[in-house]
Amino acid sequence: MNIVGDSEHFKQPFDHDEEYVSRAETKREIAIYQELGKQLVALSKSQIDKLDLDELLYDNVLKAKTIRINTEAYRRHLQYIGKIMRNIDINVLQSDLKNVLNQNRNESSKINVAEKLKDQLLTGGDDAIQALIEQHPTLERQKLRQLVRQANKELAKQPEQASKSALELVKYIKAETAE
C-alpha cells in the first residue's frame, strides 16, 4: 500500500456527488436573496404593485416598509423575505425588477425632455411653438400658445412659485410627444 499516492483514503463521500451544495455556496445564495429583498423593500408601493409577486412575498415586503430601518426586527424580516424568495424563480423576479426600474427611468427622462421643451417655449415664443409643431404635428398650436401665454403671466406675477399653467404645459407636451 502506497501511503503517498493513496488519495482515496482522504476523499469525502460527497466528492463525487453532483447535487451537493457547499455551505459557502448556500450562504452566497442566501445573501443574493436578501439583497434582492432589500431592493424590493426600497421600491414604492406602485412599483411593487407592477411586479408579479405571490401574496405571501407581497404582504411581507409591504410589512417590511413599516419596520424601522437599522433595527434587529428589520434585519430579521429581511432574512424572512429572503427565505420566502427561495421558493420562487429569482431570474424572473430580477428581470421584472429591472423592467420596473427602467420604466421609471424612462418616465423621468420623458419628464425632463418635456421640462426642457417647456423652458424653450416660455422663452422662445411663437418661433419655438412653430418649431415644436413641425417636430410633433399632433400638438395643437392654439392650446400651446394659450398655455405659454398663461404660464408667462403667472410667472411674471409670482416668479418664485411654480406656475399651474407651466405644469399643465409639461403634462400636455409629455402626453402628446410620447411615442
Domain ranges of the chain: 21-88, 103-177
pLDDT tens digit string along 81-136? 989 888 888 888 888 888 887 776 677 777 778 888 888 888 888 888 888 888 88
pLDDT of residue 36: 87
Chain position carrying cell 405571501: 56
Q: What is the pLDDT of residue 59?
A: 92
Fold entry, domain 21-88: Diphtheria Toxin Repressor; domain 2 (1.10.60)
Give the C-alpha distances (Å, rounded to integers) separating 100 from 31, 58, 87, 169. 22, 15, 22, 27
pLDDT digits (tens, 9 = 90+) for 76-87: 998 999 898 888
Fold equal for 21-88 and 103-177:
yes
Give the whole-angstrom CA distance, residue 150 versus residue 121: 12
Q: What is the pTM of this model?
A: 0.50
- Distance separating alpha carbons of residues 41 and 45, to the nearest angstrom: 9
User: Contact at 8 Å (CB) between 114 and 135?
Assistant: no
Q: What is the DSSP letter of 107?
A: H
- What homologous superfamily is domain 103-177 in, according to CATH? PSPTO4464-like domains (1.10.60.30)
3-state percent helix, strand, coil for the chain, nearest multiple of 5 = 70, 0, 30
- Please state, in angstroms and rounded to a whole number, the distance separating the CA atoms of residues 21 and 27: 10
